Amino acid sequence: MDARPETRRLNRERDAPVPQPPRGAEQIVIPMTRQQYDETWHDAERTRIAVAQWVQSAPELFPPGFDRGYRLHGFGRPSRKLPGIKLRKVVTADGASYWLRPSLVAGYMIGNVEELACPLLLAAHGVPAWLLTAGYGHGDMYWHRVVERLGRSSSVGATVRDPARLPQHLAADEHHADWAGRKGYVATTVGGGCLLGVALTAAADDVHLREAYGVFADEARDVDPEYTPATVNTDGWAATRNAFLALFPAIAVVLCFLHGFLKVRDRCRKARELHRRVWDVYRAATAEEFRRLMGELRQWCGTQAWTAAVCEMLEKLWGKMEAYAMADDDPGCHRTSNAVDRPMNRLWG
């Protein structure tokens, strides 16, 4: 008799945030090569010069108030994994302490950045841990932990360090994923041409999506506590809309016009003239022109013979006219979901 296969138990509910910040949150990463490290790190005066240069050229790397002064406060213990590497401790003028870490060392002191670059590139293309072990040593669990730890960093904080550069216009959607044999959803947020939020959740209802998109909201507010985006483009799923309105009450939810067009096109793929007229409506320069062209499209469609399925989708398109026209109130917003769909397609196929 065949043995019953063992399945891995997964916790599909999001844990409450830990009040204590992770150890890595108190580190300041200084761009530095190994040669610069050897020449600078153990000389207090050279270290201060290097820090001063980065405070001036990249102030976003440092915590608020760092420019008011600090003092060097010794070294950490030598790394057992990376011989010759030690972190330096600094204490700011307000008494807060941080560790200075050279950028040549990966987070959690797991290895040298240059040595990890190629294995992580291979892992991103699906190379399993056992094969990385065969090619680069260590062990299978080491490579599993290296990949897993990439998800511990703040996506927003690692991408946008300057509050003034937080995007005002977002696009959001959920990717349907296979989560260990069961269905899951990857809530994805894009803005300014960057992936800013990726969070896995067990369901696409109001509660779960609010928690998933809340990861992006929390990380964005770590950068700017007053952050409130102007718009977000969604595909029309009510739970997505409700999640963003709950997280950012002043946000304007823009409906994706592309989804409305695709629902019409998929039911009449050879109706080229209809396709052209729908996109002519999309290209309207103002809300008034958009409404006028939508009305003309409706009149024209009334003179044609369409199947019941096409008529149903056209009625939905006309019924959402005001939701589509809202995009003209914010010229910089995303009018379609392409900004989020394309990165999702590249990530998950």
Taking the C-alpha atoms of residue 140 and residue 24, their distance in angstroms, rounded to an integer, is 24
Q: Could you tell me if 70 and 90 are in contact, meaning their C-beta atoms sit under 8 angstroms apart? A: yes
- Extended strands (E) in the chain: 27-30, 70-75, 88-92, 97-102, 169-179, 182-191, 194-201, 231-234, 252-255
Q: What is the pLDDT along the chain (349 residues), one digit of tens a residue?
A: 455 555 556 566 666 655 555 554 588 889 999 999 999 999 999 999 999 999 988 887 888 888 899 999 999 888 888 888 899 999 999 888 999 999 999 888 888 999 999 999 999 888 999 999 999 999 999 999 888 887 777 777 777 777 888 999 999 999 988 887 888 999 999 999 888 989 999 999 999 999 999 999 999 998 889 999 999 999 989 999 999 999 999 999 999 999 899 999 999 999 999 999 999 999 988 889 999 999 999 999 988 888 999 999 999 999 889 888 888 878 888 999 899 988 888 877 6
Q: Could you tell me if 316 and 263 are in contact, meaning their C-beta atoms sit under 8 angstroms apart? A: yes
- Is CATH 3.30.420.10 the right assignment for the domain spanning 158-255+332-348? yes
Closest CA to 90 of 115, 62, 117, 118: 62
pTM of the model: 0.75
Query: Can you tell me whether residue 91 is helix, strand or coil?
Result: strand
Taking the C-alpha atoms of residue 187 and residue 172, their distance in angstroms, rounded to an integer, is 7
Q: Could you tell me if 179 and 12 are in contact, meaning their C-beta atoms sit under 8 angstroms apart? A: yes
Domain ranges of the chain: 25-105, 109-152, 158-255+332-348, 257-329
Q: Could you tell me if 108 and 24 are in contact, meaning their C-beta atoms sit under 8 angstroms apart? A: yes
Give the model's pLDDT for residue 49: 93
